[in-house]
Amino acid sequence: MRIENKNAIVTGGASGIGRATVRRFVAEGADVLIADRNRANAERLAQELAHTGRKVIAHQVDVSDEAQVDAMVDRAVRELGGVDILVAAAAIPYAGFGAGEDRHRAIIDKPFAEWREVLGVNLDGVFLVDRAVARAMVKAGRGGRIINISSIMALRPALNSGDYCVSKAGVWMLTKVLALELAPHRITVNAIAPGGVRTPMLQAALDRDPKMEQGIVDSVPLRRIAEPEELAATALFLASDEAGYYTGAMLHVNAGTLMA
């Protein structure tokens, strides 16, 4: 019970890395607000965890909307009693993700609206959530943990994914700046940089190109794709007292694909 009686918000909490993190946090004793734009999936997960005895709240939010983010944090403070831990995992790989159309494009072919959509969720969304939670943590005066999900692509460019790469690089710099600014308040801010993880986001790409999986596996020294639970374990470490001396760090969970 490494985070027993702590209160957490997990954005993107209804699927992938976020979903695995919610489950692990609840198992380790935390009360959790599941924040996701998919209300039905968030509610199903909350119902699944109802037997644990922990307070688990499903909350629909668009993290690119300032008013919705502020309302989400206000609810967490009101119903959970504060926020001790944030995991900012909400992200999209390209504009229109989930709508059935792949919009991976070279930057010279990318409409500005598509660029803005990705940056709006992946970077603006992390900024808005981090800021709102940090304000609540500073006001409460009891410190806290902010954990941003970045990506291996924050440090390694990829063809036809310039918007995603730039957004995740921005998350990494945001993490470092916040780590400096929030240190006097005993709030640590760290990032996690996954490589390939078997999430709905990756599965959508694998479904379009069945040969892609072997290509990914061949590029990974440990020769396998990560499971979301492995990222959740890293988030748990950063959320726990054991990581009290980590801030402004990015933990690379990519099986040796990028050694930095």
Instruction: Just list the catalytic residues.
Output: 164
Other C-beta atoms closer than 10 Å to the C-beta of 158 total 12
CA distances from 248 to 85, 137, 174, 191 (A): 16, 17, 9, 8
- Whole-angstrom distance, CA of residue 37 vs CA of residue 39: 6
Burial class of 111 by CB neighbour count within 10 A (0 to 12, 13 to 18, 19+): exposed
Beta strand 31-36 pairing with 7-11:
parallel
Strand order in the sheet with 187-194: 56-60, 31-36, 7-11, 85-88, 144-149, 187-194, 250-253
Cβ(186)–Cβ(143) under 8 Å? Answer: yes
